[in-house]
């Protein structure tokens, strides 16, 4: 069985109102991870993602180094144990 993880990431910067959540959802579907993305009242964007470690890392790297990187000033990421809580990757409001 593949090594599975859960990651919780908070992105700061000009990350709301620029299509960040929709791009993250598209990346998640392309990579094959589950979880959610949500705008926070603080102006940050929160992502909780689960899946095989390599896929989770690829997803987070794509956000950090892809077109979304222009909007990100800082990111805080924490890893924890896989829970299997999600069946897909979706937007939360």
Q: Identify whether 6 is a catalytic site residue.
A: no
For 18, residues 6+ apart whose C-beta sits below 8 A from its C-beta are: 68, 71
pLDDT per residue as tens, the chain (93 positions): 579 999 999 999 999 999 999 999 999 999 999 999 999 999 999 999 999 999 999 999 999 999 999 999 999 999 999 999 999 999 998
Q: Identify whether 39 is a catalytic site residue.
A: yes
pLDDT attached to residue 39: 98
Q: Which residue is catalytic, options 39, 62, 87, 92?
A: 39
Token pair for residue 69? 């990187």
Instruction: Please provide the CATH number assigned to the domain covering 4-84.
Output: 3.30.70.100
List the domain boundaries for the chain: 4-84
pTM: 0.95
């Amino acid at each position: 069985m593949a090594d599975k993880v859960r990651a919780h990431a908070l992105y700061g910067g000009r990350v709301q109102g620029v299509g960040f959540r929709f791009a993250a959802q598209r990346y998640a579907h392309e990579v094959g991870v589950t979880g959610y993305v949500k705008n926070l009242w603080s102006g940050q964007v929160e992502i909780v993602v689960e899946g095989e470690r390599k896929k989770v890392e690829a997803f987070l790297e794509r956000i950090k180094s892809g077109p979304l990187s222009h909007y990100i000033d800082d990111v805080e990421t924490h890893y924890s144990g896989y829970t299997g809580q999600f069946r897909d990757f979706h937007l939360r409001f």
